[in-house]
C-alpha cells in the first residue's frame, strides 16, 4: 500500500528541519552557531552569563528573552541545558531544541514564562557572554562578583513581584498575607511552633515540601540551624493559624554556597508557611 503523498512530504520536511542538529541526549538536540575562538571554556562549577532567547517550537512565539546567569553544577545531568553549555566557550553561540520542562529547570531565578506548557518543545538560542571559573573564590574580585550577583537577584525578585502582586516589604524580605492568625505567638525561647511549609524557586519549581499540615515540623524558638535565617525572622512575627508567603533573597536563604545539588548559590527562594499550632511553656 502506497503512503499518501502529503505524509511523505511531511516526513521529508521533518528530516530536513532536523538535519543540522546533533543529539545530545534523548530529549535534547543542538547545533553550534558560532565559535568565538576563546580559550575560556565552560566547565563544572563555572558561573556563566548568557544571552538567552527561547521560542515555542510550534508557534515560534518568544516565551523568554533575557540576559541571565547560570551556574553549571558538578556532575550535571546529560539531559540538561548545562550539559550542552559545557561544549561551549566564551563568545560561542548555539541553539538547542528541548522540552520546556528541561529549560525551566535551568531558569530557576526567573518567574514562570507564560504561553508555554511543560511538555512543549522549545528552541533555545544561547550566546555566551562571560565565563567565571570556580577558583574566583580565591580571587580579589570575588566580593565584586557577589555584589553583582546581589544586583542580579534584586532584578529577578522585582520581576517576580510584578507577576505576583500583594507582597509587602518585611525587613529584608517580602511578605504576602494569605490567612490571619489568632494572635497566639511563641514569644519566649524554648516555646515551639508546629509549622507546615513549602519552598519554591521563582519559576515555581518546588524544592522543599517536607512539612505538610498533617506532618507538621516542630520549630523551637531560639534553637539554631532548624530553618534558614529568613524563615527564623518570619516565624518570629507569625501567630497560630497564620499563613503567608515570603520572598527571601539568597543571603537570608542558602547564601553564596547554596545547598548541595538542590539549591544553587545566589538563589532567591519563596516559602509558603502556615503556623498550625503554638506550644507555650
Say how many C-beta atoms besides its own lie within 10 A of residue 215's C-beta. Answer: 9
Say how many C-beta atoms besides its own lie within 10 A of residue 120's C-beta. Answer: 16
Same-domain status, 135 and 29: yes
pLDDT of res. 151:
94
The percent of residues above 90 in pLDDT, for the chain, comes to: 74
What would the mean pLDDT of 124-134 be, rounded to a whole number? 93
Residues 166-200 have pLDDT tens digits of 999 999 999 999 999 999 999 888 999 999 999 99
Same-domain status, 128 and 198: no
Q: How many CA atoms lie within 13 A of 119 on its CB side?
A: 0
| Per-residue pLDDT band at 85 (split at 50, 70, 90) | very high
In a domain, 5, yes or no: no
| Per-residue pLDDT band at 281 (split at 50, 70, 90) | confident
In a domain, 88, yes or no: yes
Structural domain of 33: 20-139
- Residue 181's domain is classified under what CATH number? 3.10.50.40
Comparing 33 with 115, which gets the higher pLDDT? 33
Distance of alpha carbon 166 from alpha carbon 9, whole angstroms: 53
Same-domain status, 124 and 178: no
- Per-residue three-class SS string for 90-140: CCCEEEEEEEHHHHHHHCCCCCCCCCCCCCCEEEEEEEEEEEECHHHHHCC
In a domain, 117, yes or no: yes
In a domain, 10, yes or no: no
pLDDT at 19 over 80: no
| Structural domains of the chain, count | 2
Q: What's the Cα-to-Cα distance from 262 to each of 80, 105, 199, 200, 207, rounded to whole Å?
A: 15, 11, 11, 11, 7
Distance of alpha carbon 280 from alpha carbon 191, whole angstroms: 5
pLDDT of res. 135:
75
Degrees (nearest 5) of the Cα angle 258, 263, 267? 70
pLDDT of res. 92:
97
In a domain, 9, yes or no: no
pLDDT of res. 270:
98
pLDDT at 216 over 70: yes
Distance of alpha carbon 34 from alpha carbon 181, whole angstroms: 57
Amino acid at each position: 500500500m502506497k503512503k499518501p503523498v502529503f505524509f511523505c512530504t511531511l516526513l521529508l520536511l521533518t528530516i530536513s528541519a532536523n538535519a543540522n542538529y546533533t543529539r545530545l541526549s534523548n530529549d535534547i538536540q543542538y547545533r553550534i552557531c558560532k565559535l568565538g575562538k576563546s580559550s575560556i571554556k565552560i566547565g563544572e562549577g563555572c558561573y556563566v552569563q548568557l544571552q538567552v532567547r527561547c521560542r515555542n517550537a510550534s508557534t515560534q512565539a518568544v516565551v523568554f528573552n533575557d540576559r541571565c546567569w547560570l551556574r553549571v553544577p558538578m556532575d550535571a545531568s546529560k539531559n540538561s541545558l548545562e550539559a550542552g553549555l559545557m561544549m561551549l566557550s566564551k563568545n560561542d553561540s548555539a541553539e538547542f531544541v528541548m522540552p520546556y520542562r528541561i529549560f525551566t529547570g535551568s531558569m530557576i531565578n526567573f518567574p514562570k514564562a507564560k504561553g508555554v506548557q511543560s511538555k512543549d518543545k522549545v528552541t533555545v538560542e544561547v550566546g555566551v557572554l562571560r565565563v567565571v571559573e570556580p577558583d574566583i573564590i580565591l580571587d580579589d574580585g570575588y566580593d565584586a562578583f557577589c555584589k553583582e550577583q546581589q544586583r542580579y537577584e534584586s532584578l529577578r525578585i522585582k520581576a517576580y513581584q510584578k507577576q505576583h502582586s500583594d507582597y509587602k516589604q518585611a525587613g529584608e524580605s517580602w511578605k504576602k498575607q494569605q490567612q490571619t492568625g489568632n494572635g497566639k505567638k511563641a514569644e519566649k525561647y524554648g516555646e515551639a511552633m508546629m509549622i507546615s511549609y513549602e519552598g519554591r524557586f521563582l519559576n515555581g519549581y518546588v524544592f522543599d515540601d517536607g512539612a505538610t499540615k498533617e506532618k507538621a515540623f516542630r520549630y523551637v524558638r531560639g534553637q539554631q540551624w532548624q530553618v534558614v535565617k529568613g524563615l527564623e525572622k518570619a516565624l518570629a512575627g507569625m501567630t497560630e493559624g497564620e499563613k503567608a508567603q515570603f520572598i527571601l533573597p539568597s543571603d537570608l536563604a542558602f547564601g553564596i554556597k547554596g545547598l548541595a545539588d538542590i539549591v544553587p548559590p545566589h538563589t532567591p527562594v519563596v516559602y509558603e508557611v502556615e503556623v498550625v499550632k503554638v506550644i507555650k511553656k
